[in-house]
Chains A and B, each alone.
Chain A
Amino acid sequence: QSALTQPASVSGSPGQSITISCTGTSSDIGGYNFVSWYQQHPDKAPKLMIYEVTRRPPGVPDRFSGSKSGNTASLTISGLQAEDEADYYCSSFTSRVTGVFGTGTKVTVL
């Protein structure tokens, strides 16, 4: 149950698009369409941004989108805004009937 692999940091200017990758294995990301993405601001609880690879919960802006190819999932933030600066974590259902998180990515808005 190793953590999914994410880049440590990604940055972009306001209005730009950025993409965060999340790499797992066939026992998690590659085997199921149960990939989620969370946003976490400092000292706050995580916020669900994407579930089932591509779906957005109510209230999440459509600037946030998800995708998956093989064992790698991705989160794209379009039209980057200052309030998007936060840590982002992917997660996936696993063959052990548990969840597993990614290592986390710090998004910086330049």
Chain B
Amino acid sequence: EVQLVESGGGLVQPGGSLRLSCAASGFTLSRHWMIWVRQAPGKGLDWVASIKQDGSEKNYVDSVKGRFSISRDNAKNSVYLQMTTLRAEDTAVYFCGRGFCSGPSCYSETSDCWGQGTLVTVAS
């Protein structure tokens, strides 16, 4: 069974840091782009970052560039999101997503499997 499990969320003060982890199982992680998206309470989805299969390409939405860093360890079946200089507007549930593959084509912006999410609250 394909599964993604996020962890590492919690309450942090403005300006603080957190590292989110995403544990993958049931599929070959190294075949897929991986994506982080977030959803503020009661709000819509917000694309955050993506990382290529071998980690050689990383893409970020402007609002997190320079503050967030996405990484992966295929040998450990894990993907990470290091978040620094956190702001109140970063408060959200963060979802890890597997980049969708159809045959030989694998996508960097489309996900067919998501974790249950981990809540990050930035407040003093």
Contact = CB atoms under 8 A, between A and B. Distances in A.
Contact of B95 (A34, A45, A97): A45
A46 interface: yes
B100 A48 contact: yes
Contact of A99 (B47, B102, B114): B47
Interface in B73-124: 95, 100, 102, 107-112, 114-117
B102 A51 contact: yes
Interface string B6-33: 0000000000000000000000000000
Interface residues of B, number: 25
Interface residues of A, number: 28
Nearest to B60: A98
B1 interface: no
Contact of A101 (B46, B62, B107, B116): B46
Interface string B24-49: 00000000000101000000111100
A10 B115 CA distance: 28
Given A51-B100, A51-B107, A99-B35, A46 B114 contact: yes
A36 interface: yes
Nearest to A100: B47
Interface of A: 1, 3, 34, 36, 38, 40, 45-46, 48, 51-52, 55, 57, 87, 89, 91-94, 96-104
29 contacts: A1-B63, A34-B107, A34-B109, A36-B110, A38-B45, A40-B45, A45-B95, A45-B116, A46-B45, A48-B110, A48-B112, A51-B102, A51-B110, A51-B112, A52-B102, A57-B100, A57-B102, A87-B44, A89-B45, A91-B45, A91-B110, A96-B59, A97-B59, A98-B59, A99-B37, A99-B47, A99-B109, A100-B47, A104-B44
Interface of B: 35, 37, 44-47, 50, 59-63, 95, 100, 102, 107-112, 114-117
